[in-house]
């Protein structure tokens, strides 16, 4: 199910359900969203700082719950990731949201929220957040995000990569941050991987830990059920010569015995070129010697 697309003067709510954020980034994001013709509101505790978190557990629950329930807010813009959503996701009541869905925007730790909502067959957007809208408002990712929110879906053409595996896949896209997904394994909030196109990305993880998470997906049968794989950006880590392989080689080896198409170096993750990806709607992935095509 696609939430209603936005129109001029619709309200978008900024919330901070995970890590604390520099207030200047919220100010910059608000400026950009206002220039898009949207009315911007903030959760009461969006600028709060409680250690590494954007407020206490109770404060973050309150802001996210209010945003989900408020029919005046037509989209929810998560200010940043970090860590914290897993502490509160089981305290959130989605009953009103399921009857009145709205766009949820964000990535990184927001993978928890994307995964929870995927169980309701409601589309969300894996997307840049406040830092990008503040510091690079005219770059491609924010512009594409605006287009999606207002009903204009992109079609992506990605250059070929030596580790790509050719093929065609159809299915809904799920996933996001690999470490966050790993933290949801065995819970009621991990997504249903069957016949889905999985997107993975990560930041600051050691190569052997990336392999550990991939082996969990392999051993538990996740890879056996996928229709396709998008390998996004893995950033801010140190290569481990004892692993004898690069991170992309580790990923390629982990999925070498499966037949689904694989796209490496997809521009999504903790990087400036973090293209928005629509989760939860039927998508088409085509990988061949000429490159990769992704349509929503």
- Tens digit of pLDDT for each residue in 236-256? 998 899 999 999 999 999 999
Please list, residue by residue across 116-136, b when 16 or more beta carbons sit within 10 angstroms of its beta carbon and e when fewer do.
Answer: bbbeeebbbbbbbbbbbbbeb
| Helix/strand/coil for 31 | helix
DSSP secondary structure string, 29-83?
HHHHHHHTT-EEEE-TTTT--BTTBSS-HHHHHHHHHHHHH-TTEEEEEE---SS
**Helix, strand, coil share (%) of the chain residues, nearest 5:** 35, 25, 40
User: What are the DSSP E strand ranges found in the chain?
Assistant: 11-15, 39-42, 73-78, 103-106, 124-126, 155-158, 167-177, 197-203, 228-235, 262-263, 277-279, 282-288, 291-295
Residue 205: per-residue pLDDT:
96
Residue 35: CB partners within 8 Å, gap ≥ 6?
A: 137
CA gap 163, 245 in Å, rounded? 13
User: Sorting pLDDT into bands at 50, 70 and 90, what band is 57?
Assistant: very high
Range 185-193 average pLDDT: 97
Residue 76: per-residue pLDDT:
98
Residue 203: per-residue pLDDT:
97
| Helix/strand/coil for 54 | coil
- CA angle centred on 262, ends 256 and 268, rounded to 5°: 130
Percentage of the chain with pLDDT > 90? 99
Residue 55: per-residue pLDDT:
98
User: Sorting pLDDT into bands at 50, 70 and 90, what band is 123?
Assistant: very high
User: Sorting pLDDT into bands at 50, 70 and 90, what band is 21?
Assistant: very high
Residue 22: per-residue pLDDT:
98
Question: Structure tokens of 235?
Answer: 């950033």
CA gap 95, 73 in Å, rounded? 16
User: Sorting pLDDT into bands at 50, 70 and 90, what band is 30?
Assistant: very high
Q: Determine the distance from the C-alpha atom of residue 17 to the mean position of all C-alpha atoms in its chain, rounded to a whole number.
A: 14
Residue 249: per-residue pLDDT:
97
| Helix/strand/coil for 195 | coil
Residue 178: per-residue pLDDT:
98
Judge whether 126 and 115 are in contact, CB under 8 Å: no
Residue 184: per-residue pLDDT:
98
Judge whether 124 and 114 are in contact, CB under 8 Å: yes
Range 96-110 average pLDDT: 98
Count the alpha carbons within 13 Å of 51 in the hemisphere toward its beta carbon.
6
- pTM of the predicted model over 0.85: yes
Residue 113: per-residue pLDDT:
98
Range 214-241 average pLDDT: 96
- CA angle centred on 183, ends 18 and 259, rounded to 5°: 120
CA gap 266, 200 in Å, rounded? 9
Rg (CA), the chain: 18
Mean per-residue pLDDT over the chain, rounded:
97
Residue 129: per-residue pLDDT:
98
**Backbone dihedral region for residue 233 (phi beyond 0: left; psi -120 to 50: alpha; all else: beta):** beta
Judge whether 74 and 68 are in contact, CB under 8 Å: no
65 DSSP β-pair partners: none
């Amino acid at each position: 199910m696609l939430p209603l697309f936005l129109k001029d003067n619709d309200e978008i709510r900024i919330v901070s359900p995970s890590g604390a954020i520099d207030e200047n980034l919220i100010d910059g994001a608000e400026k950009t969203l206002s220039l898009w013709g949207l009315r911007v509101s903030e959760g009461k505790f969006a600028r709060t700082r409680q250690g590494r978190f954007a407020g206490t557990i109770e404060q973050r629950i309150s802001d996210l719950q209010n945003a989900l329930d408020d029919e005046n807010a037509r989209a929810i813009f998560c200010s940043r990731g970090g860590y914290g959503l897993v502490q509160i996701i089981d305290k959130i009541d989605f009953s009103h949201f399921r009857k009145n869905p709205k766009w949820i925007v964000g990535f990184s730790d927001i993978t928890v929220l994307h995964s929870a909502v995927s169980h309701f067959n409601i589309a969300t957007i894996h997307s840049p957040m406040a830092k990008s809208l503040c510091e690079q408002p005219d770059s491609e990712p924010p512009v594409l995000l605006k287009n999606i929110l207002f009903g204009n879906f992109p079609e992506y053409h990605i250059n070929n990569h030596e580790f790509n595996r050719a093929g065609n896949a159809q299915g809904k896209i799920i996933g996001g941050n690999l470490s966050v997904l790993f933290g949801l394994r065995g819970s009621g909030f991990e997504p249903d991987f069957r016949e889905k196109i999985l997107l993975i990305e990560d930041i600051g993880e050691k190569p052997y830990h990336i392999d550990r998470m991939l082996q969990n997906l392999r051993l538990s049968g996740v890879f056996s059920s996928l229709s396709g794989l998008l390998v996004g950006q893995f950033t801010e880590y140190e290569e481990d010569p004892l692993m004898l392989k690069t991170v992309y080689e580790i990923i390629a080896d982990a999925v070498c015995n499966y037949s689904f198409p694989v796209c490496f170096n997809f521009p999504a993750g903790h990087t400036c070129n973090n293209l928005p990806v629509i989760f939860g709607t039927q998508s088409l992935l085509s990988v061949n010697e000429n490159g990769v095509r992704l349509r929503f």
